[in-house]
């Protein structure tokens, strides 16, 4: 027996087109309506495609672009961006999300050291400096963390190069909030907007590691 339609409605908004310059305005979008149904299985459907859909909130990492909602079907056949408040108007749930980009934390011996994007962390670990993102994520080289020391534990590099002591995990909500606040502060202090991919936020106080003469002999 087919699932029964419990309610039907339409959402105002715009479709995201395949071509970034398509549509009547040349911005890759086209205004329209998405016809939706809630059925007896408790799920929401695109009535025209007869496909299950989900509404997800997007929270951009740049802290300037306002959060928005996208609706996609299971096959990602098309993407629809409803106007603000449309999902709430018809009672369609929205899955909340933290950000478009994933943030990661480097831990040394279980201690959180730095939070950033995958590319930003990768480049810092490999070369010891923040550059434009690129290349594979290879944390084992450790160029950055082997050249600095924890101000609270002088005389030793933050990381001794032992691969088993370095662990990378997903950032927590609190760490994401901290990263976003630091990004906003950096923009305010410099007056410049830069690529957030390269921003690293250190969770401990660092300074340049200088080996003692006895260590070098």
Distances in Å between the Cα of 6 and the Cα atoms of 41, 45, 51, 55 are: 9, 11, 16, 18
* Range 178-199 average pLDDT: 75
Higher pLDDT, 101 or 82: 82
Distance separating alpha carbons of residues 163 and 123, to the nearest angstrom: 17
Question: Quick one: pLDDT at residue 141?
Answer: 36
Nearest to 116 by CA among 124, 105, 108: 105
Distance separating alpha carbons of residues 133 and 140, to the nearest angstrom: 17
Q: Each residue of 57-99: pLDDT tens digit?
A: 876 655 555 678 889 888 778 899 999 999 999 999 998 765 5
Question: Quick one: pLDDT at residue 130?
Answer: 39
Question: Quick one: pLDDT at residue 131?
Answer: 35
Question: Quick one: pLDDT at residue 136?
Answer: 33
Percent of the chain predicted with pLDDT > 90: 27
User: For residue 44, what are the β-bridge partners?
Assistant: 38
Q: Each residue of 126-162: pLDDT tens digit?
A: 664 433 333 333 333 345 677 677 777 777 777 777 7
């Amino acid at each position: 027996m087919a699932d029964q339609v419990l309610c039907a409605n339409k959402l105002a908004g715009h479709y995201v087109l395949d071509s970034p310059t398509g549509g009547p305005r040349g911005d890759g979008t086209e205004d329209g309506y998405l016809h939706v149904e809630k059925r007896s299985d408790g799920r929401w459907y695109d009535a025209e495609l007869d496909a299950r859909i989900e509404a997800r909130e997007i929270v951009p990492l740049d802290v300037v672009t306002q959060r928005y909602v996208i609706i996609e079907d299971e096959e990602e056949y098309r993407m629809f961006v409803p106007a603000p408040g449309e999902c709430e108007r018809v009672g369609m749930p929205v899955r909340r999300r933290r950000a478009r980009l994933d943030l990661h934390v480097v831990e040394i011996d279980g201690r959180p050291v730095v939070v950033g994007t995958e590319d930003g962390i990768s480049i810092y670990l490999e070369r010891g400096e923040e550059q434009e993102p690129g290349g594979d994520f290879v944390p084992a080289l450790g160029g950055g963390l082997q050249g600095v020391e924890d101000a609270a534990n002088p005389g030793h590099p933050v990381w001794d190069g032992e691969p088993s002591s370095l662990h990378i995990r997903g950032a927590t909500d609190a760490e994401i909030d901290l990263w976003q606040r630091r990004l906003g502060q950096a923009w305010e202090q410099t007056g410049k907007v830069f690529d957030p991919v390269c921003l690293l936020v250190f969770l401990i106080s660092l300074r340049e590691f200088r080996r003692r003469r006895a260590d070098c002999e």
